[in-house]
A and B are shown apart, each in its own frame.
Chain A
């Protein structure tokens, strides 16, 4: 393993047991992601994109194979240890925003910091800073139901940055948004990469994002069909 890789997957398989039938969602996936890179995962529906993303983000465990984060083999970690690392090093952005409906914007952004034991005053300060950096300074006391989709996703982005993670993982972050709003969200992600040097991994259908990416992982039937690097021509197999 190269010293420079942030995330490394070695021969990862994900097999679901559905009654007597085995469903192989991922097979023989091996890949490396360098720190500070912008990675897109592409592929048709059911190709295993989200499963791969969940395994990279330590939300899910592989059936076989190893997942390394900063050189640490996470396969042997307990559920609680993974939760701890997730909270500290990985930020998640979901297609459905996944904000907590009972909490206002500020509280939603602050919640990952609660689990890291950060005191309340610091949490509030950082949450306010993050919300204003995504342009939602005026919305801190609004609940998700009072906000538009674009605003909710920006809160989710702010939340993903709460603990200043190494890597931000986004699963079709623009999938529930109109194209103009989606464009703005993508700009926020690109800025994060450009200005703050965050490692960003996105599952997307958006060719513009793919073009911006330094690395594109193309999945088909649970396998990596092609693994492009920046500057290579991308062959689009699915269109949205």
Chain B
């Protein structure tokens, strides 16, 4: 029976092709927005989470200040002092502490001078942590040796910053000669992939940043719970500040990998919700378009409805035919919007690969596709519901008399 109603509905839609297509276009635009934005934000989320997952579970990050006003911390230049770092080191359960230090410096190579972000790498104490827990993997060459003027570069450096740079290339930073010995595999973020890494002690020596660090990373010894150690680190830091500087109101954020993953998921969730909410407005406009078309259609086909009822169609039959029509408009619009939306997302991903201004991947999951199609079909049915009901309510005699 339903297939018969479906045939009737399709026939009706094809009788007014221009109007049907224009209505479908309204839905295409809505679904296009939702699909492209959702797939890109989902891709972004996946990229960030992948980066976090590359980091070991027993790694915690220590940042001075409250996370709620993280910009204040960065702009205000709040840093961890050497005493803070020692307090972290002394906390039970902490295996090793890596100060996260960086500074912009001019690097000269192959006759070119460029400002790069120089990172200090604690090769002496924490080489294994970089390898095993922070996901650093060598694409080419080897790790620098502690105490030697050797450089490790991110994988974007030979591609973009110093094209043609190879292992063995010599460079100059602050008047000192260095040699490139290793090129890393991509770490998944543009900032990390543009890094120039040198031994921590040499970094401190040539940059003049003798102690402290803007942030630090601690590896938790096995057998300890990262959450508990994170709490202890926080307490120790507060205690140290109180004792040594008399500071009553200091704050630190100690984040476990799990907490960071949770935060990213939350933030991305909010972004996706906002994206969805805005794109839904386009969808609602499309739905109103369907409603408009369906009301016009009921109006024009009043007599046909009367005929169908006269020859035995029940009210539910009329409702079904109209609902199928609006549902098909929604569904076809959904398919169109999906093709364009996911196409655009893929295109952006491709552009991102050719010109890596950003790392973004389009996430096209079966779930997203099913969601998009179901959503557009439901919007269609929902928009068609009132017109369909008004058609079904028509009395056969009145409908037949309609001119």
Q: Which residues of A contact B (CB under 8 A)?
A: 54, 57, 59-60, 79-80, 83-84, 86-88, 92, 94, 98-103, 111-112, 114-117, 120, 159, 162-163
Does B12 count as interface, using CB distance less than 8 angstroms? yes
Q: List 7 A-B contacts (CB under 8 A).
A: A83-B314, A98-B303, A103-B11, A112-B311, A114-B4, A115-B314, A115-B317
Given contacts A59-B396, A103-B11, A114-B4, contact A83 B309 (CB under 8 A): yes
Question: Considering the chains assembled together, what is the distance between the CA atoms of A94 and B11 in angstroms?
Answer: 24
Is chain B's interface secondary structure helix, strand, loop, or mixed overall? helix
With beta carbons under 8 angstroms apart, the residue of B304, B317, B397 that contacts A59 is B397
B313 and A115: CB pair below 8 A?
yes
Does B370 count as interface, using CB distance less than 8 angstroms? no
Interface string of B26-59 (1 = CB under 8 A from A): 0000000000000000000000000000000000
Interface string of B308-352 (1 = CB under 8 A from A): 111111111100000000000000000000000000000000000
How many residues belonging to B are interface residues under a CB distance threshold of 8 Å? 23
Does B15 count as interface, using CB distance less than 8 angstroms? yes
Given contacts A103-B11, A115-B317, contact A86 B400 (CB under 8 A): no
What residue of chain B has the Cβ atom nearest to residue A123's Cβ?
B4
A80 and B400: CB pair below 8 A?
no
B311 / chain A contacts, CB cutoff of 8 Å: 86-87, 92, 111-112, 115, 159, 162
A102 and B15: CB pair below 8 A?
yes
B15 / chain A contacts, CB cutoff of 8 Å: 102
A54 and B312: CB pair below 8 A?
no
B310 and A98: CB pair below 8 A?
yes
B315 / chain A contacts, CB cutoff of 8 Å: 79-80, 83
B397 and A80: CB pair below 8 A?
no
B11 and A102: CB pair below 8 A?
yes
Does B106 count as interface, using CB distance less than 8 angstroms? no
Question: Considering the chains assembled together, what is the distance between the CA atoms of A88 and B314 in angstroms?
Answer: 12
A188 to chain B, nearest CB (A): 19
Question: Considering the chains assembled together, what is the distance between the CA atoms of A60 and B308 in angstroms?
Answer: 15
B310 and A59: CB pair below 8 A?
yes
A98 and B11: CB pair below 8 A?
no
A57 / chain B contacts, CB cutoff of 8 Å: 310
Add 6 more A-B contacts to A87-B313, A88-B312 (CB < 8 A).
A83-B309, A83-B315, A86-B310, A100-B304, A115-B313, A116-B312
